[in-house]
Amino acid sequence: MILSSLPPIRGSFMRGIRMSRELSAEFIGTFTLVTAVCGAALLSAPSAGLIAVAFAVGLSVLAMAYAVGAISGGHFNPAVTCGLVAAGRFDAGKAIPYIIAQVVGGVAAAAVFYIILQGAPAAGKWNSFLAVSNTYGGSGFSMLSVGLIEVVITALFVLVIVSVTSPRAPAGFAPIAIGLALVLFHLVAIPVSNASLNPARSTATAVFGGVSALQSLWLFWVAPIVGGIIGGIIGKWLHAEYVSGPVNP
């Protein structure tokens, strides 16, 4: 009786180990992404401008997609996770643990830079966490403008991901295309919304950005996730991928 129960126990144990590695990879990848956001936006952007932020984010995702993408799929973003579920590329049952790991990884990175910023020289040129958070209204763009650009660029971003990871795409180049796409979309969206595309990134900076950032945070969960789902559905249709297999030969 005991021996007959060992294979299922061993299988559950191995699945648990595999899942822990996937969640660790998502934590590390999102930690790196938010490190790029905070490091570039808080410290470099006042001197180097938005181009520094756009390339820092794109290069961080490119590097981590190669580093840990084979372990977890390299989502690093709740909107990407939801988009891949919509595209039929990811198990919906694993989405919530992935999203939790991504948010915790992002907040951990922001906490590191919050501590670092406390030791910054007073005479230097540094941004605040509020300045690098995703917000709308006030002296900035309206809620409609910000929400629209976040939906559109996240939909396009997830469409890129679904397309370059298709079996028909050239092997080995997906992280490059994804990283460069992220640079492009940040260059477009930073002046409007500070470029979220990623609820985990928005949450990480909002936690330390104060009331204004937290009040705007809901939009940077809703808009990217809606955009990600749209991009996943379009990508699934374009590549004719369904649970039963491709429609086209």
- Contact present, 66 and 213 (Cβ < 8 Å): no
CB atoms within 10 A of CB 97: 15
- pLDDT tens for 1-19 read 454 555 666 667 667 788 9
- pLDDT tens for 162-204 read 999 998 888 899 999 999 999 999 999 999 999 999 999 999 9
Q: Give residue for tokens 């699934």.
A: 236
Query: Model's pTM, two decimal places?
Result: 0.91
Report the chain's C-alpha Rg in angstroms.
19
